[in-house]
Amino acid sequence: VIIERLAIVGIGLIGGSLARALKRAVACREIAGWDLDPQAVQAATRLGVIDRGAADLQSAVAGAELIVVAVPLGAIAEVFAALADRIPGGAVVTDVGSVKGTVIDAARQRLGAAFRRFVPGHPVAGTERSGVAASFAELFDGHRVILTPVAETSGDALARVSAMWEAAGATVERLEAALHDELLAATSHLPHLLAYALVDCLAAERHVPDIFRFAAGGFRDFTRIASSSPAMWRDVLLANPDAVLEVLGRFSQRLEALAGAIRAADGRLLMERLAHAKTVRDEFCRRFPALDRPSDPGR
Amino acid sequence: VIIERLAIVGIGLIGGSLARALKRAVACREIAGWDLDPQAVQAATRLGVIDRGAADLQSAVAGAELIVVAVPLGAIAEVFAALADRIPGGAVVTDVGSVKGTVIDAARQRLGAAFRRFVPGHPVAGTERSGVAASFAELFDGHRVILTPVAETSGDALARVSAMWEAAGATVERLEAALHDELLAATSHLPHLLAYALVDCLAAERHVPDIFRFAAGGFRDFTRIASSSPAMWRDVLLANPDAVLEVLGRFSQRLEALAGAIRAADGRLLMERLAHAKTVRDEFCRRFPALDRPSDPGR
């Protein structure tokens, strides 16, 4: 046992999976949980994901030494505001948001003196499903959790949050928040935007039934991430607009260059760019073997 | 046995897998093979994929009742020209190109009288690997093969090619060539273009090692198709420029609309488009369950 009392605020896929992983590791004496949606609290209690379903935020965090805020990004500032006066002395607070800059700003504004015991965090794991019913203990196994502490962040708080994620099966890394947001914009936020845009576009084409009927296997993989939670991705995109629009601009230039090569029937240029991309992607897969479960579990 | 002598011209992933699938079904008395690359012929013979490795095109197709042209799209017109005078009387010719309009044009120009016994075909199956060493008998199982006969195409020739693909495990469908090229531009050629453009773009970013180090699982799925053969995709994109550029234009408009919503922090619009895409994709997966093997076999 490394944590006496843990409070999880927001019990969806991430909060629920964290609770399950920590139970698997026997890392907590008690896990209390609260969610804006009372049904999520009931489900989590019924499934044995948490030990104690709290009736309100106050009772969830009372006596907690570690508070994990696992609500959607769009609700996080509000939750920080509600938390501010209720954080037990010495308790550590962390979050799981996929964007860190805006979360840090919100925490700095809302958490007051507790800000130095706030550790911004992002578990780079998930599925396209959401909700506590989809949670599972293995979600973080072998995945990275990126912590983005700032100058004020207490080293002790950082160590406690690191220990929690390691107990949950993850590998902990540290990054500057701005770099985190830039990297994730490129490798996660932009791909999601493209997948959503592609499906949105195809759904407006003529011959829609045929389009999907004849879609090849690559299409399924390529668009899997467009089955993710729209509310979550709206929040992510709105929380990281500058980095997303910046990398989107660079992407659009590359895409336009490829389109130009097609228009000009420039096979040499096309071959050069495609071959380069393949080399890079193959090298990526060689250096970083898949951590993931097979994709698209029945969806 | 439904085919006495089959000739496969071009023994890569598709030609090799077709030979293996037909052997599994005991559908041919003899499968002869030829390839521009003598090493491919040697490998196919050594692996037992074909019964007879031919030294040249002429001897490969001598006495064949069915000739499958499975060379890259960029070489197909040339192969048709070389074949024209060598097609045994009454023999049926088919191809496996991912684009049909330009292949039909080439066949019409080059095959002469044999054009009416030419059946344009496209097996919608593949992996991101290529070459006969990557071929396997199950490649077409449960996958669609789209045949796009024209007005002149002989019904008997069409029936023979259909029977061959059914023996290989595929489901045969018929489409107009123009509709085929439009559907595939939307569901296959455009996604490949986007995946290549994304990897090409990210490889030019600052912090490249970090970008790939912190890439999440969705990125791997999303970019898997960028590990496909660049030469093949160059050929596909150059063979279907009009349909590809047209759907790319519509895609870019959708993407710009999403970017505009991010820029304007318009959560309502963003939510509406993302939710619509998710609904469409989930419906697609419900109606057309996955046919594919788990993706990304170790690459």
| pLDDT interval class at B41 (50, 70, 90) | very high
Residue count (chain A): 299
Assess contact for A259 and B249: CB atoms under 8 A: no
Q: What's the mean pLDDT in A32-39? A: 96
Higher pLDDT, B129 or B158: B158
Query: For residue A65, is pLDDT > 60?
Result: yes
Residue of B202, B245, B281 with shortest CB distance to A226 = B281
Residue A90, Ramachandran bin (φ over 0: left; ψ between -120 and 50: alpha; else beta)? left
- Proportion of chain B above pLDDT 90, given as a percent: 82
Higher pLDDT, A289 or B193: B193
Half-sphere exposure of B142 (CA within 13 A, CB side): 8
Q: What's the mean pLDDT in A241-267? A: 97
Question: What contacts B7, CB < 8 A, 6 or more positions away?
Answer: B31, B32, B33, B34, B54, B60, B61, B64, B66, B67, B68
Determine the residue of chain B that is closest to A269 in CA distance: B234
| pLDDT interval class at B293 (50, 70, 90) | very low
Contacts of A238 in chain B (CB under 8 A): 262, 265, 267, 270
Give the pLDDT score at B208.
Answer: 79
Give the pLDDT score at B298.
Answer: 28
State the nearest Cα–Cα gap between A155 and chain B, in angstroms. Answer: 23
Beta-carbon separation of B250 and A182 below 8 A = no
Assess contact for B180 and A254: CB atoms under 8 A: no
What count of CB pairs under 8 Å joins A to B? 311
Which residues is A247 bridged to in the sheet? Answer: none
Query: For residue A293, is pLDDT > 70?
Result: no
Assess contact for A237 and A244: CB atoms under 8 A: yes
Beta-carbon separation of A219 and B146 below 8 A = no
Contacts of B211 in chain A (CB under 8 A): 183, 186-187
Of A97, A54, A57, nearest to A77 by C-alpha is: A97
Determine the residue of chain B that is closest to A203 in CA distance: B280
Q: What is the per-residue burial (b if ≥16 Cβ within 10 Å, else e) of A3-31?
A: bebbbbbbbbbbbbbbbbbbbebebbeeb
Q: What is chain A's mean pLDDT, rounded?
A: 92
Determine the residue of chain B that is closest to A223 in CA distance: B222
In degrees and rounded to multiples of 5, residue A93 shows phi and psi of -120, 140
Assess contact for B116 and B152: CB atoms under 8 A: yes
Determine the residue of chain B that is closest to A126 in CA distance: B217
Give the pLDDT score at B283.
Answer: 86
Give the pLDDT score at B216.
Answer: 66
Beta-carbon separation of A234 and B270 below 8 A = yes
| pLDDT interval class at A222 (50, 70, 90) | confident
Give the pLDDT score at A290.
Answer: 64
A297 C-beta neighbours (distance < 10 Å), count: 10
**Pair of tokens at residue B221:** 């799925």
Query: For residue A294, is pLDDT > 80?
Result: no
State the Cα–Cα distance between residues A294 and A281, nearest whole angstrom. 18
Beta-carbon separation of B175 and A288 below 8 A = no
Residue of B191, B215, B241 with shortest CB distance to A222 = B191
Mutate: best of A175, A179, A196, A266, partner B, most B CBs <10 A: A196
State the Cα–Cα distance between residues B128 and B245, nearest whole angstrom. 23
Beta-carbon separation of B267 and A234 below 8 A = yes
- Proportion of chain B above pLDDT 70, given as a percent: 96
Beta-carbon separation of A274 and B230 below 8 A = yes
Beta-carbon separation of A214 and B265 below 8 A = no
Q: What's the mean pLDDT in B38-59? A: 96
Assess contact for B181 and B101: CB atoms under 8 A: yes
Residue of B201, B220, B244 with shortest CB distance to A290 = B220
Q: Which residue has the tokens 């023979």?
A: B160
Query: For residue A256, is pLDDT > 50?
Result: yes
State the nearest Cα–Cα gap between B47 and chain A, in angstroms. Answer: 26
Beta-carbon separation of B299 and A292 below 8 A = no
Assess contact for B65 and B92: CB atoms under 8 A: yes
Assess contact for A171 and A145: CB atoms under 8 A: yes
Give the pLDDT score at B179.
Answer: 95
Q: What's the mean pLDDT in B100-107? A: 98
Contacts of A247 in chain B (CB under 8 A): 201, 205
State the nearest Cα–Cα gap between A126 and chain B, in angstroms. Answer: 8
Give the pLDDT score at B290.
Answer: 63
Of B169, B180, B188, nearest to B146 by C-alpha is: B180
Half-sphere exposure of A99 (CA within 13 A, CB side): 27
Geometric angle at alpha carbon A139, from A194 and A47, rounded to 5° = 120
Query: For residue B272, is pLDDT > 90?
Result: yes
Question: Which three-class secondary structure state does DSSP give residue B149?
Answer: coil
Higher pLDDT, A31 or A222: A31
Query: For residue B104, is pLDDT > 70?
Result: yes
Query: What DSSP string runs through B181-250?
Result: HHHHIIIIIHHHHHHHHHHHHHTTSTTHHHHHHT--HHHHHHHGGGGS-HHHHHHHHHHSHHHHHHHHHH
pLDDT digits (tens, 9 = 90+) for A6-24: 999 999 999 999 999 999 9
Question: Which three-class secondary structure state does DSSP give residue A253?
Answer: helix
Distances (CA, A) of A281 to A250, B112, B125: 18, 43, 21
- Proportion of chain A above pLDDT 70, given as a percent: 96
Record the pTM.
Answer: 0.88
ipTM above 0.90, yes or no: no
State the Cα–Cα distance between residues B231 and B98, nearest whole angstrom. 13
Query: For residue B150, is pLDDT > 90?
Result: yes
Beta-carbon separation of A226 and B271 below 8 A = no
In degrees and rounded to multiples of 5, residue A174 shows phi and psi of -120, 140
Query: For residue A128, is pLDDT > 80?
Result: no
State the Cα–Cα distance between residues A211 and A227, nearest whole angstrom. 18
| pLDDT interval class at A216 (50, 70, 90) | low
Half-sphere exposure of A137 (CA within 13 A, CB side): 13
Q: What residue type is A47 in one-letter code? A: L
Residue of B219, B271, B299 with shortest CB distance to A230 = B271
Beta-carbon separation of A238 and B265 below 8 A = yes
State the nearest Cα–Cα gap between A62 and chain B, in angstroms. Answer: 34
Query: For residue B163, is pLDDT > 80?
Result: yes
Of B9, B190, B158, nearest to B84 by C-alpha is: B9
Give the pLDDT score at B299.
Answer: 28
Chain centre to alpha carbon of residue A213: 32
Q: What's the mean pLDDT in B137-143? A: 94
Give the pLDDT score at A292.
Answer: 43
